Amino acid sequence: MYDLIIVGGGVAAFTSALFAARRGLKILVIGKDIGGQANYTDLIENFPGIEATGGYELVSSIKSQAEYWGIEVLQAEVSRIKQASDSFVVQAYQKQYKASAIILAFGKTPRDLGVTGEEELKGKGISYCASCDMPLYKKKIVTVAGVGDINLDAIILASKFAKKAYALSKTDKLSGHPALIKAVSKKKNVEMVPFVQILSIKGKDHVEELRLKNIKTDQQWTLKTDGLFVELGYIVHSGFVRDLVATDEQGQIMVNDDQSTSVPGIFAAGDVTNGPYKQAVISAGEAANAALAAYDWLQQKHGARGLTSDWTQIKKVNKS
């Protein structure tokens, strides 16, 4: 029996483990992998306090920091969470684990193109996060493939950093908000490539070229590029908790200000929640909040006073 089970293996999972462990809780983290989406990037330059680090290195160091406080980690996929009379039962493979409270931090997965070469070159010139990685392509040639406003945002960002940006579209126009389409049309270094499908991505250690096909004429050709940005949206694999906690139309877990969900005792943090922005530091912030809220909830459940917000402990500064 654990005080808290955390589902996930990324920034959010290990940050909430760190904060909850420092409150003395008995914690089990169950994650399918260690790192989560951070594993897709070799360079994170916007995590406060760290000038530059690899994604895996960032999560590993948060994990070590949490392990110092005695957390347990199990690499496994959670397939079910059930509410019992006074606890939650978490199923991972054939085993069941019990806890008084749960933090869901199982993130999301970028939607793939599903073409040859994509798996091998992920994080080596293929990015699924323009706001994260576009600054790495200063004065380079980039290609953006996607749909909707996130795709248009990525193209606009590409126009600011890259020497040249190709915007691929399966039709003769780009989809999304008219104001964004107008903004894209004004960018001199953006070339739209209509009626196009990516057949494969090639490169030795890094993306070098794309094999393309015109879907109207079947004509094939090769496009040289330094990077490919895929903006097809994300999938939240929350099916296994959808009959337990409230989710939005995208399957993201709905949270309150303190990261609590529709079920008392279950909290959620990071990219899996319905928060609008998805970045490592935001996942970490939500995770710290979730951990403290879970601790507070456990304290109150066991009849204790509950956690006092840190700032209420600060003595008033005498200004005179």
Ligand X SMILES: Cc1cc2nc3c(=O)[nH]c(=O)nc-3n(C[C@H](O)[C@H](O)[C@H](O)COP(=O)(O)OP(=O)(O)OC[C@H]3O[C@@H](n4cnc5c(N)ncnc54)[C@H](O)[C@@H]3O)c2cc1C
Q: Which residue is nearest to ligand X (CB)?
A: 107
C-beta neighbour count of 188 within 10 angstroms: 7
State in angstroms the smallest separation of the CB of 112 from ligand X.
11
State in angstroms the smallest separation of the CB of 50 from ligand X.
11
Binding mask 253-292 for ligand X (x = CB under 6 A): -----------------xx------xxxx-x---------
Do residues 145 and 231 touch, judged by C-beta distance below 8 A? yes
Q: How many residues bind ligand X (CB under 6 A)?
A: 38
Binding mask 105-144 for ligand X (x = CB under 6 A): xxxx-x----------------xxx--xx-----------
First-to-last CA distance in the chain?
A: 52
Interface with ligand X in residues 228-247 (CB under 6 A): 237
| Range list of β-strands (E), the chain | 2-7, 27-31, 72-75, 78-83, 88-92, 95-104, 109-110, 126-127, 141-146, 164-168, 190-193, 196-202, 209-214, 220-224, 227-231, 234-235, 266-268
Q: Which amino acid is at 80?
A: R
Q: What are the φ and ψ backbone dihedral angles of 17, each rounded to 5 degrees? A: -60, -45
Do residues 223 and 196 touch, judged by C-beta distance below 8 A? no
Residues 209 and 63: their CA atoms lie apart, in Å, by: 37
Interface with ligand X in residues 3-62 (CB under 6 A): 7-13, 30-33, 36-38, 40-41, 44, 46
Residues 237 and 320: their CA atoms lie apart, in Å, by: 56
State in angstroms the smallest separation of the CB of 303 from ligand X.
32
Binding mask 65-104 for ligand X (x = CB under 6 A): ------------xx--------------------------
State in angstroms the smallest separation of the CB of 32 from ligand X.
3
Token couple for 249: 């139309």
Taking the least distance from each CB to ligand X, the nearer of 2 and 40 is: 40
State in angstroms the smallest separation of the CB of 228 from ligand X.
11
Binding site for ligand X (CB under 6 A): 7-13, 30-33, 36-38, 40-41, 44, 46, 77-78, 105-108, 110, 127-129, 132-133, 237, 270-271, 278-281, 283
